[in-house]
Every structure is written in structure tokens, then in C-alpha cells.
Structure 1
Amino acid sequence: MADKGDLGSTLPLSRVKTIMKSSPDVSSISQEALFMTGRATELFVQNLARVSLEQGGNKNSLEYKDLAEVVNSVELLQFLQDIIPKKIKAMEYLKMMQKMQDEDS
């Protein structure tokens, strides 16, 4: 991870550029925009991890369930619910699907 004094990016900027270019609305990307998008992404991920670690039960490690809980409880992060959903057991999922089918009938 980069030091606070180091302005270098830890994310591969070529990957960030590929993701940015996947949008049909993007035709060209300046180096400054690429760098700032990469840096903003790093800061976002660091903040998400820090908040999840603080709210999680274990202060020494970060688990998926901690991330999913923060995503589901913090309104600003709910756009990530499709990417980081809460884990449920297969039996619970099947019951949910059955209930939805019963309601539709």
C-alpha cells in the first residue's frame, strides 16, 4: 500500500483505464483523470475496509460478512448491494423464492 506521502497509485492504471473505457459515453481519458479516478477508487476501498473493520466483530481481520453488513446498513453504500450481498443459506433462498411464487399466484 502507498505511504501517505507517496502519491503513486497502487491500482494498475491500465485496468482502471480499461474499466473507464468500457462505458460507451467515454471516448478519451486524460492522464490526470485516470490518475484521479484511480486514487479516488483506492481511497474509497480503504475507507470501506476501515469502516467494515471498525464495525466488525473481530478487530484483527476483515471478513466478507463485515463488508456485507456495512453495505446493507450504510445508506450511501447501498449501491453496492448487488456486488456485495449478504450471504444467505440455500434453504433460506429457496423459501424466499417459494414465498414469492405463492404471492404471484
Structure 2
Amino acid sequence: MADKITSTLPLSRVKTIMKSSPDVSSISQEALFTTGKATELFIQALAKFSLEQSSDSSSLEYKDLAEIVNTESTLQFLQDIIPRKIKVRDYYKICEKREQSEK
């Protein structure tokens, strides 16, 4: 049955990412396939949830994903990967405030 089920994600890329961890020495084909499929299902669920929460239910934008990641406590582990976008001038203002508070 596993032969008939395919993964949308390139398993060679998934394997490369998995092997980038110093704790991983070898990866079985079953573990590789399972991890790839689980990742695919997670991405689908994240996109579906973001689309449901979006103001425009016909398309999904980066800002929708960033908003979900930054508001849902179960997805906060993705905050560094999918941060809210801010303008450069807003970033500079934040830096200035931080410098002033440190003085």
C-alpha cells in the first residue's frame, strides 16, 4: 500500500533537512517517507486554517500565515520562520526606543 501513496514534497530535500541535525546519523526509507508525509499534511492544515481565518477566502497571502503563526499559541514555534512583516522605518523606530531605554 505504501507504494501507491506518494509524497508531494521531494524526499531528497526532506532527507537533507533531517540529516542537517547532528543527532541524526541514518534515516530509514520508512522514517523518511513518514516524515515527508507528515510535513505535507502539516503544511496543508496550516494553509487551510490560515485561509479560513483570512479576510479573503479565495486566496492566501503571507500576511495571513504570519498572523496565524503569531496569534495561535500552538504555532508560535514558527514565529522566527514566518514573522510579521514590518516596514524598515518601523524597525528603526523600535531600535531607537530600545537604545533610549538602555541609556
Specify the TM-score bucket, using the shorter chain as the normaliser: over 0.9
- Post-superposition, which runs of at least 4 consecutive aligned residues in structure 1 deviate over 4 A? none
Question: Normalising by structure 2, what TM-score?
Answer: 0.94
Kindly state the Cα deviation for residue 25 of structure 1 after the two structures are TM-superposed: 0.6
Kindly state the Cα deviation for residue 91 of structure 1 after the two structures are TM-superposed: 1.3
Aligned to 2:19: 21
Aligned to 1:48: 46
Aligned to 2:9: 11
Q: What is the percentage of aligned positions where both structures have the same residue? A: 67
Q: In the aligned structure 2, how far is the partner of 1:88 from the partner of 1:24?
A: 34
Aligned to 1:32: 30
Aligned to 1:3: none
Kindly state the Cα deviation for residue 90 of structure 1 after the two structures are TM-superposed: 1.2
- In structure 2, stretches of 5+ residues that fail to align are none
1:62-105 deviations in whole A, cap 9, x for unaligned? 00000000000110110111111001111111110000001111
Q: In the aligned structure 1, how far is the partner of 2:96 from the partner of 2:56?
A: 35
Letter in 2 for 1:70: I
**Aligned with residue 80 of structure 2, among 79, 82, 94:** 82
Question: Normalising by structure 1, what TM-score?
Answer: 0.92
Kindly state the Cα deviation for residue 47 of structure 1 after the two structures are TM-superposed: 0.5
Aligned to 1:98: 96
- Taking only aligned residues, the RMSD between alpha carbons, in angstroms, comes to 0.8
Q: In the aligned structure 2, how far is the partner of 1:47 from the partner of 1:56?
A: 14
Q: In the aligned structure 2, how far is the partner of 1:89 from the partner of 1:16?
A: 33
